[in-house]
Every structure is written in C-alpha cells, then in structure tokens.
Amino acid sequence: MPSNHQKIVPVILSGGTGTRLWPLSRDNHPKQFIGIMDVKTPIIQETIVRILDDNLFHQPLMVGNDAHRFMLAEQMKRCGIAEPKIIIEPSAHNTAPAITAAALYVQQHYGNALMLILPTDHIIGDTDAFLDGIHRAASAAQKGYLVTFGIQPDHPETGYGYIQRGNEISDRKNTFQVSSFAEKPDAATAERFLAEGNYLWNSGMFMFPAELMLDEMQNLQPDLVDACREALSASTQDNNFIRLQESAFERTKNISIDYALMEATRRAAVVALDCGWSDTGAWDLLWSVSPKDGNGNAVFGECYTLDSHDCYMRSENGPAIATLGVDNLVVIATKDAVMVTHKDKAQSLKKMVAHVRQRNPDLVQENQRVYRPWGAYERIHGGERFQVKRLTVKPGEKLSLQMHYHRAEHWIVVAGTARMTCDDITKVVTENESFYIPCGSVHSIENSGKINLDIIEVQTGSYLGEDDIVRLSDIYGRIKT
C-alpha cells in the first residue's frame, strides 16, 4: 500500500487495433477483446481483474474510442464493475493526449492521486511480482518521480523498445533513474543490450502523480495540455461514457507519452520488473509465451501436425489446420481468412494488412461476428439481393426502433423469446415461429426472456448495406443529432 493509504487510480488505455494479430484481430474487434492465452477469456478482462483490489486501487478508468465503447463497458461489467467510467476519444492521437485527458479527469475527481497507466493487452504471468512492482513504483512516485516499468530481458528481443537504467535510487530496491530510451533495435544491437546488462524492455506501463505529470506536461507540451483541458471541460456524458469535445481534442498533437514526457523530463525513473510479462503485439511473441507440445508447436483449436516444429497454429471458428514437414510458421485460420507467415516475418504483418485493406477492406475491419450493444450478429450466407444472418440478443436488451429503405426482413426465432414490433403490431414470438418485416416498416426486437435470443434473419432487397438503417429511437444513444 502506498504511504498514507493513498489509493491508486488505474487508467487502462484501449486505443489500438492489434494489426499484427490479424486476422484474429480486426479494426472493430481488436486483440484486447480476444482470448490470448485463455482463449475463452478476453485479455482485457485479465487486465481489469488484476487491479480490482479495493484496498489498493480505486475503480479503474478506461480510455477508448467510440467504436469500441459498448464492448469496453460490457467487459468492465463482466468483471464486476457495475458503473464503468469510460473516456471516449473522438479520434486516435496516440498515448500522450489520452493519458493527459485521463490525468485531468483524475485531478478533478481524486486530487493528486497516483495514476497507474496500463495497456489492455499485456500478459502478466506473476501477479504477485507485478503488484510488488506497483508498490515500488508508488513509493518512487510519491517522492517526485515519473515512473515507468522496465522488464528484465531474458533474450535479445527486437520487437520492444529498451530503457537504459542509470543509478539506483537510494532506499528504492530495483528502482533506477532513467539514463536513456532506445527504439526497437536490430538483432545485433539487441544482443549488445542484453550483454551489457543495464537495459530493460520498455513495457509501456507507468505510475504518475496526477499533478506532477500535468505540471511537467504543461512545461513540455503546453498546447496539448490546454487542448485536453478544453476537451474535458466541454465534454458530454451519456450512460457510462465521457465524450471529449471533438474540435478541442483534434488540436492535440499525435504523440506518444514516451516522446512527449518521459524522454524530456528530468524526473524519469524506472522500476525493474520480472513478472512473466509479455506484450501481445505479434504472433511470434505469443508463440514464445504459449504452452507447446514436444515439437515446440503452440496449437489452439482443431490443428494437426506431423514432422512440424516450433509453429504457432490457431483455428478460431475456422477450418482445421494440418501441417506436414514445416518449421517456424504461424498459421491462423478464421471463418473468412487464413494467414500463413514465417515467425521471423510476424513483426512485419502490418505490411500485409495494409495490402489486404487496399483490396478488401472488410477483411481488416470486421469479423464474421459483429458485436453490438444488444449482442452480436454473424453473416452466414449472401448473394445477389439476399443475405442471411444469425442475431444473438442478450436478455433484457433491445434493437433500436428502425426502418430500412431498400430491404425487407424475415425473422425466424430458433431459441428464446422475442417481443417484436412492426408498425402498429407488437407480438411475442417464440421458438420455431417467424415474423415478416416489409420494406419501409418501422420495427424493433426485444429479448423479453432470461436466455439469449437467437434469430435467423433473411434480408432481401436491392441494397443490403449496414448504412441502410434509419434509427428512430435507441436506448444506447446511437442516434446522431
């Protein structure tokens, strides 16, 4: 516990799209919402649960974007946070504006509290060692340091930035002044960093006293702080979301907290951690921390290997994978995409994603399963003038009251109980019953039962795009004025 029983405010940053984990990670359903080590538990939940000790932490504050807001709220609620607080960035401007806006919010509501800045998507193998590092970081922060966390390297990794530690801070075990920061190195430089023994991996986690961080940023990046202050002052709130004012936030510089603050301040300190940490940034990194078979293969889903070694293979609701006589491959299969690369090329996957985006942007933006605040839908089949989807509506949730100009819909209930509205008709529809929505009719669906409502939706018409939705009322605040 920090001195004087000062509780820490965790700030969780959820801004990335996880391009290097494509095709599992997509723009609208990125890696933080995917199970990484435990395929059934999204890694964001692991991050949240790690900092739920009421004796040490205040309720976490989330920072994310508008497209992911309902998924963020749902994940926080699944972790037992009944009333999440989520700051919504109008656009992605890197970590410095996001953390500055959060620091201003923390200052307003908690005074000069300590802030623990965490990405959503890190693996921590040893939670006790991680919490010990938090205690050490809190102690240094209370002494006037802006603290980052450095990971003790065990191999010459080229996928991470590095921190060169300086002198140890007196009475602060494994806590050092920062000598310098280094970008992701080439292989030879990474070997040298490891051999010298005074370099740590840059984890992207921080501990700041809110007021000290803002004072330093005011000196180093005054325009950015002023824009964030205006964006927060003019923010609006609906449900769990604090929406930063767009025009003010757009004036912020697109810059990381490392460049904006940590590399320029004289108050930087680093806590050395050995806690089984890994960034989930690329498939080769995941292979290195995953359980493996006797041939060094990390296998998830329906996969078959013969005379194959040191591969990462994962079939996620996709076709089965079979490999014969191959080594050091990454093979990822989803319902709509299969990606194969050598592990040595995994860090460069962004180039392939950019190539795919030019030719078929849907493969980068959306999964076959698309998440909505009421549940999700999944495309099953489609062709000229028709499309078939499976809708899953959570208990107590409701689709917006809406209409379509170009399509009709036929709904068949396969599980659960639906309260369906079409123009002036409201009807309870149960399993094996159907309901027809003519083109132009005002309609809605509500799950009035206690289990998930599953519906097969058949769309027919001249245009079937998702932008042919006119919302008339919506309990989730998605109608733009």
According to the model, what pLDDT value does residue 223 have?
Answer: 96
3-class SS at 341? strand
- C-alpha distances (whole Å) from 444 to each of 19, 405, 436, 470 are 35, 15, 12, 12
**Are the beta carbons of 228 and 252 closer than 8 angstroms?**
yes
Q: What is the pLDDT along the chain (481 residues), one digit of tens a residue?
A: 555 557 999 999 997 788 999 999 999 899 999 888 777 899 999 999 999 999 999 999 999 999 899 999 999 999 999 999 999 999 999 999 999 999 999 999 999 999 999 999 899 999 999 999 999 999 999 999 999 999 999 899 888 899 999 999 867 688 999 999 999 999 999 999 999 999 999 999 999 999 999 999 999 999 999 999 999 999 999 888 999 999 999 999 999 999 999 999 999 999 999 999 988 888 998 998 899 999 999 999 999 999 999 999 999 988 999 999 999 999 999 999 999 999 999 888 999 999 999 999 989 998 888 888 999 999 999 899 999 999 999 999 999 999 999 999 999 999 999 999 999 999 999 999 999 999 999 999 999 999 999 999 999 999 998 899 999 999 988 887 6
According to the model, what pLDDT value does residue 5 have?
Answer: 58
**Are the beta carbons of 226 and 70 closer than 8 angstroms?**
no
The pTM for the full model equals 0.89
Greatest CA separation for the chain: 76
Q: In whole angstroms, give the CA distance from residue 362 to residue 159.
A: 28
According to the model, what pLDDT value does residue 3 have?
Answer: 52
Q: In whole angstroms, give the CA distance from residue 181 to residue 25.
A: 29
According to the model, what pLDDT value does residue 253 have?
Answer: 93
Backbone phi and psi for residue 189, each to the nearest 5 degrees, phi listed first: -70, -40
CB neighbourhood size of 268 (10 A): 24
**Are the beta carbons of 408 and 436 closer than 8 angstroms?**
yes
Instruction: Specify the CATH architecture of the domain 369-473.
Output: Sandwich (2.60)
Residue corresponding to tokens 């090329």: 345
According to the model, what pLDDT value does residue 2 have?
Answer: 57
User: Per DSSP, what are the bridge partners of residue 412?
Assistant: 434, 456
**Are the beta carbons of 345 and 332 closer than 8 angstroms?**
no
Name the residue among 337, 324, 345, 331 with its Cα closest to residue 300. 331
Q: In whole angstroms, give the CA distance from residue 196 to residue 199.
A: 7
- Residue 342 DSSP label: E
CA atoms within a 13 Å half-sphere pointing along the CA-CB vector of 404: 21
- C-alpha distances (whole Å) from 345 to each of 20, 158, 285 are 10, 12, 12
According to the model, what pLDDT value does residue 471 have?
Answer: 94
According to the model, what pLDDT value does residue 260 have?
Answer: 95
Nearest 5°: the CA angle 277, 281, 285 is 60
Q: In whole angstroms, give the CA distance from residue 342 to residue 328.
A: 6
- C-alpha 186: how far from its chain's center? 28
User: Per DSSP, what are the bridge partners of residue 237?
Assistant: 242
Q: In whole angstroms, give the CA distance from residue 280 to residue 269.
A: 24
Nearest 5°: the CA angle 271, 273, 279 is 115
Which regions of 175-248 does DSSP assign to beta strands (E)? Answer: 175-182, 199-209, 236-238, 241-243
**Are the beta carbons of 365 and 26 closer than 8 angstroms?**
yes
Name the residue among 324, 194, 461 with its Cα closest to residue 311. 324
Helix axes 222-233, 210-220, angle to 10 degrees: 120
Give me the residue spans of the domains in the chain. 9-279, 283-360, 369-473
Instruction: Specify the CATH architecture of the domain 9-279.
Output: Alpha-Beta Complex (3.90)
Helix axes 222-233, 95-110, angle to 10 degrees: 60
Tokens of 77: 């609620």
According to the model, what pLDDT value does residue 480 have?
Answer: 73
Question: Which amino acid, 477?
Answer: G
**Are the beta carbons of 407 and 439 closer than 8 angstroms?**
yes
